[in-house]
Structure 1
Amino acid sequence: MTRAKRNFSDDTPAFVAPDLADRRPKLVLLLGRGSRGKTMLSRWMIDRAENAGRHPLPADGDRTNQTLARYHSRAVSPPSADDADVRGWVAGIVEGLLLHRHDTVLDLGGGDLTLKSLAREMDLLAWLTSLAVEVVPVHVLGPSLDDVAYLQSVEEGGLLASPTTILVLNEGVVPVGRTPHAAFSETVQTHAVFASTIARGARLVSMPRLEPAPELEERGMPFLLAAQGLAPTGEQPLGPWKSQQVTLWLRRMEANFASVLEWLP
């Protein structure tokens, strides 16, 4: 393909094809500690988009448990858990997004510092924003002050302080016997960085508990399929009770995330 001539005063980057220049792809970054529900939330985002005919790229960079890749045949993963391979893989994900302008959901696994390092080295947020990419950091939080540590590390200095930042309070990791309101209001919501992130425009949502979640993960079952009482080939479907639980959870997810749906793939 012959590239169009370009003046360096143009706003459109040289490597973005003219017919794709008006496409603002989303780079959704799942951030937070391990076992906080990042992969579950990623699956919901991707399933929701695909059910609507959109096809974001699932990028599973979890070095120890690539659950996302088990659900989506199109998912891509790094060739190994080696730091250099993961860094190179992230670079390839970003270059592919810039070339093809497709939405991407990137999950690097709990506490992985690769993205933080690359964000600093590459001035990632400012650079991608200048190339008309919508960077959407999604911080998935449990009811512990340790959960705001990663949030603080990327908010300080504006490292990944995107205007389209989502803070997700995962009710599914609240200990039994405590209400989500009490659990979060007494911990993460008291932290100064939580308040400052909200003050600068981040949006706060809650992810409701889904009791059959472990079974869905074990069976590799998409949410909508489970809600319909169906199952992948070779797997047993959930019973009517659990299928109804999934149905109600999907409704609550749509309602709870209504304020940020425009930022999702």
Structure 2
Amino acid sequence: MNAFNNLENPGPQPEAAKTKPSLFIRAGRGRTGGSTGLDLVIQRARFQGRRVKPLDGDRRSKTLSTLYPSADEFGDPIEDGASFPVSDELPDIKEWLKGEFDEMVGEGVSRALDLSGGDRVMQEFVRDLALNEFCLHHGITPTVALFLGPDIEDFRHATEILKSGEFPAERTILVLNEGVIRHGQTTEGAFLPIMMTREFDALTDAGVRTSFLRRLSCMSVLRERGVGFYEAAAGRTDKAGLKSSPTLAFMVKTWLAAFERDLDEGKVADWLP
């Protein structure tokens, strides 16, 4: 059964379950679609029957906190709802990360961390904790995803992060996001100036892998209706009782299938939670 047909009936996929928790970190510049990408990664894991807790370290946009509230309308806690620091102050963020990583070890539940603009925080935390060694000791698999638009400054920022040598994972993905390029451009054409640089070749030679994230033109519709990607692909009803139209469901299903193909081509599917 191919990736497209697997989306016919969204629900737990026990055959895809993983035994070790993952720490999946989104880093880099803002406005590159990283929060949306993390949302997709979380939904994919849950669709396949795996628990992932969102960690919202991007206190400006608060995307994950909005998409995954920690409590329901009655104030009761929601399992694996998003967690976030009490403030933007460096000590509070580091204490929050420490607490979440302690819980990850105890619970064995994967984390997806949005750290847009928080590179300095993570670098200091990595240095204090020796995060790679911490993850290895406790059987946690860390991965860093750097989301890029076609702006060469996005790529330069990503290369500076990687050159620092202080980021916490040997498994690193450059996600080339079509969702933030101008309409009328092809994905490959928009990112060609980046992919032709010596720095890009050097990173891929060093083991950094790349994957594309295609544009979903009906993304705003899904956000307005509050329906998940896999639910929309299956034509399920949203909170208002509206069912996805056949065209909407097909568009989302096609997008999800392309995402799986790009993960396979980039050899990073197993790196996700």
Partner SS, residue 257 of structure 1: helix
Matched, 1:200 2:198: no
Give the whole-Å Cα distance in 2 for the aligned partners of 1:196 and 1:218. 41
1:77 match = 84
Give the whole-Å Cα distance in 2 for the aligned partners of 1:103 and 1:195. 31
Deviation at 1:211, TM superposition (A): 0.4
| Amino acid in structure 2 at the alignment position of 1:65 | S
Kept in 2: contact 1:151–1:193 (CA 8 A): no
List per-residue Cα deviations over 1:5-58 (Å, max 9, x = no partner): xxxxxxxxxxxxxxxxxx532110011211211111111111111112111111
Matched, 1:263 2:271: yes
2:72 match = none
TM-score computed with the length of structure 1 as normaliser: 0.82
List per-residue Cα deviations over 1:56-98 (Å, max 9, x = no partner): 1111222112222232342212223333322221121222122
Deviation at 1:154, TM superposition (A): 2.5
Deviation at 1:111, TM superposition (A): 5.6
Identity %: 30
Matched, 1:228 2:224: no
1:43 match = 39
Matched, 1:162 2:158: no
Give the whole-Å Cα distance in 2 for the aligned partners of 1:234 and 1:83. 40
Kindly name which structure, 1 or 2, has the bigger radius of gyration based on alpha carbons.
1
| Amino acid in structure 1 at the alignment position of 2:37 | L
List per-residue Cα deviations over 1:173-202 (Å, max 9, x = no partner): 12122222121111x223444322211112
Give the whole-Å Cα distance in 1 for the aligned partners of 2:179 and 2:24. 21
2:125 match = 118
Partner SS, residue 143 of structure 1: coil
Give the whole-Å Cα distance in 1 for the aligned partners of 2:90 and 2:110. 25
Among 2, 27, 46, the alignment partner of 2:23 is: 27
Deviation at 1:212, TM superposition (A): 1.0
1:15 match = none
Give the whole-Å Cα distance in 2 for the aligned partners of 1:144 and 1:42. 20
Q: Structure with the greater relative contact order (CA < 8 A, sep ≥ 6): 1 or 2?
A: 2
RMSD of aligned Cα (Å): 2.2
Instruction: Assess, with a 3 A threshold, how the Cα gap between structure 1 residues 244 and 33 changes in structure 2: closer, same or farther.
Output: same
1:213 match = 219
Give the whole-Å Cα distance in 2 for the aligned partners of 1:260 and 1:194. 17
Partner SS, residue 159 of structure 1: coil
Partner SS, residue 37 of structure 2: helix
Deviation at 1:217, TM superposition (A): 2.4
TM-score computed with the length of structure 2 as normaliser: 0.80
Partner SS, residue 234 of structure 1: coil
Give the whole-Å Cα distance in 2 for the aligned partners of 1:142 and 1:243. 26
Partner SS, residue 205 of structure 1: strand
Number of residue pairs aligned between Structure 1 and Structure 2: 243
Kept in 1: contact 2:227–2:239 (CA 8 A): no
Give the whole-Å Cα distance in 1 for the aligned partners of 2:31 and 2:182. 13
Kept in 1: contact 2:142–2:168 (CA 8 A): no
| Amino acid in structure 1 at the alignment position of 2:23 | L
Deviation at 1:234, TM superposition (A): 2.6
Deviation larger for 229-238 or 216-225: 229-238
Q: Which runs of 5+ in 2 are unaligned?
A: 1-18, 70-80
Kept in 2: contact 1:71–1:222 (CA 8 A): no
Instruction: Assess, with a 3 A threshold, how the Cα gap between structure 1 residues 130 and 198 changes in structure 2: closer, same or farther.
Output: farther
Give the whole-Å Cα distance in 1 for the aligned partners of 2:197 and 2:129. 29
Instruction: Assess, with a 3 A threshold, how the Cα gap between structure 1 residues 173 and 235 changes in structure 2: closer, same or farther.
Output: farther
1:139 match = 146
Kept in 1: contact 2:126–2:167 (CA 8 A): yes
